[in-house]
């Protein structure tokens, strides 16, 4: 594919009104499909009656910024008027853009996303909890990330975190697994037990994510640290370094990161999804073994039983 062009997700075509769209001929020549400022007709979008479309690579940052603005506006609308399912879908789209788009744009726009979520939560106390429980048709990484974000926001709101602190944790939740985008699909998209070699490669997502966030130079250092440390454990049994000194944010995201697959998807070790109480019992045993902070675990349990 021509490096001067980037594919556009078919589900996002309607968001590219202000950018020209291109398609490729049989001879692999880029041809203009839609002029800047034009909008495809709604029936064509609904039925996906268009070829694979692309934007110019030179438009990527501008298009990503415009996408975030449109998606944040759509998230606001869905939170206050359209219910839980559309809100979950809108949030999934935002998370996917954050994981795949330019990080310098994510750094500017994600705090606004978190602020919208908190405004919605203040209007509807069950919103974030419902978002975390709702199943999603999105791919596994996006679904996992949305769940971690929802649970983190539930924790922050219940324990009255400051807006600044909650935004930092929210962005950390969205980007904690960004290193996974560099892993092969056969490792990322499976619930089967990984081989030793595959698990070692999976573990590298923590370092990959840390470097990606740190190199972007538009996020607070603690956000990169969460990506690096969220699989570390207080007893030194975690990875990538076996550290016992772990940032508080990484401890919290790490705890939630362990609870989420147990409850919503199941794991290769524990089988089918557990009821929340059973998931917490499994984690309690790990707390007693010294892997997690006891008071943080108690605080997390309290926000789930409000």
Dihedral sign computed on CA atoms, order 202, 208, 212, 213:
positive
Give the chain's mean pLDDT: 85
pLDDT at 205: 95
Distance of CA 62 to the CA centre of its chain: 21
Give per-residue pLDDT as tens, 96-137.
888 887 887 888 888 888 888 877 766 666 666 666 666 554
> Which letter does DSSP use for residue 267 in this model?
B
pLDDT at 225: 97
| Percentage of residues in the chain having pLDDT higher than 70 | 89
Q: Tell me if 97 sits within 8 A of 63, measured CB to CB.
A: no
pLDDT higher than 70, residue 143: yes
Between these two residues, 45 and 266, which has the higher pLDDT value? 45
Residues 6 or more apart whose Cβ sits within 8 Å of residue 288: none
pLDDT higher than 70, residue 69: yes
Q: What are phi and psi of 24, to 5 degrees?
A: -110, 135
Residue ranges of the domains in the chain? Answer: 5-175, 178-304
DSSP secondary structure string for all residues of 7-56: E--GGGGGG-TTS-EEEE-TT--EEEEE-TT----HHHHHTT-S---EEE
The alpha helices in 204-247, defined as continuous H runs, are 205-216, 221-229
Strands 21-24 and 30-34: what pairing? antiparallel
pLDDT at 251: 97
pLDDT higher than 70, residue 11: yes
Distance of CA 68 to the CA centre of its chain: 14
CATH architecture of the domain 178-304 equals: Orthogonal Bundle (1.10)
Distance of CA 102 to the CA centre of its chain: 14
Average pLDDT (261-282) is: 74
pLDDT at 92: 85
pLDDT higher than 70, residue 180: yes
């Amino acid at each position: 594919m021509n490096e001067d062009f980037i594919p556009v997700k078919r589900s996002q075509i309607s968001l590219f009104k202000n950018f020209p769209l291109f398609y490729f001929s049989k001879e692999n020549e880029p041809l203009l499909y839609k002029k800047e400022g034009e909008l495809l007709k709604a029936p064509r979008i609904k039925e996906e009656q268009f070829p694979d479309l692309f934007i110019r690579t030179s438009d990527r940052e501008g298009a990503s910024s415009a996408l975030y603005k449109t998606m944040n506006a759509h998230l606001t609308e869905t939170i206050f008027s359209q219910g839980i399912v559309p809100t979950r879908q809108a949030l999934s789209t935002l998370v996917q853009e954050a994981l795949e788009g330019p990080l310098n744009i994510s750094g500017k726009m994600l705090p606004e996303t978190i602020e919208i979520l908190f405004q919605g939560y203040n209007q509807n106390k069950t919103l974030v909890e419902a978002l975390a429980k709702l199943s999603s048709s999105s791919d596994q990484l996006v679904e996992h990330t949305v769940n971690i974000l929802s649970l983190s926001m539930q924790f922050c709101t219940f324990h009255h975190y400051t807006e600044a602190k909650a935004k930092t944790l929210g962005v950390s939740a969205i980007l904690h697994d960004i290193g996974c985008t560099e892993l092969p699909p056969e490792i990322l998209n499976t619930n089967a037990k990984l081989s030793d070699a595959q698990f070692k490669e999976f573990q590298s997502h923590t370092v990959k994510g840390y470097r990606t966030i740190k190199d972007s130079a538009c996020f607070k250092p603690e956000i990169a640290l969460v990506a690096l440390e969220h699989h570390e454990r207080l007893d030194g049994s975690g990875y990538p370094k076996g550290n016992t000194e772990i940032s508080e944010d990484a401890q919290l995201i790490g705890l939630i990161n362990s609870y989420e697959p147990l409850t919503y998807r199941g794991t290769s070790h524990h089988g089918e999804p557990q009821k929340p109480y059973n998931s917490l019992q499994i984690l309690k045993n790990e707390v007693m073994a010294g892997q997690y902070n006891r008071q943080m675990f108690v605080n997390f349990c309290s926000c789930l039983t409000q």
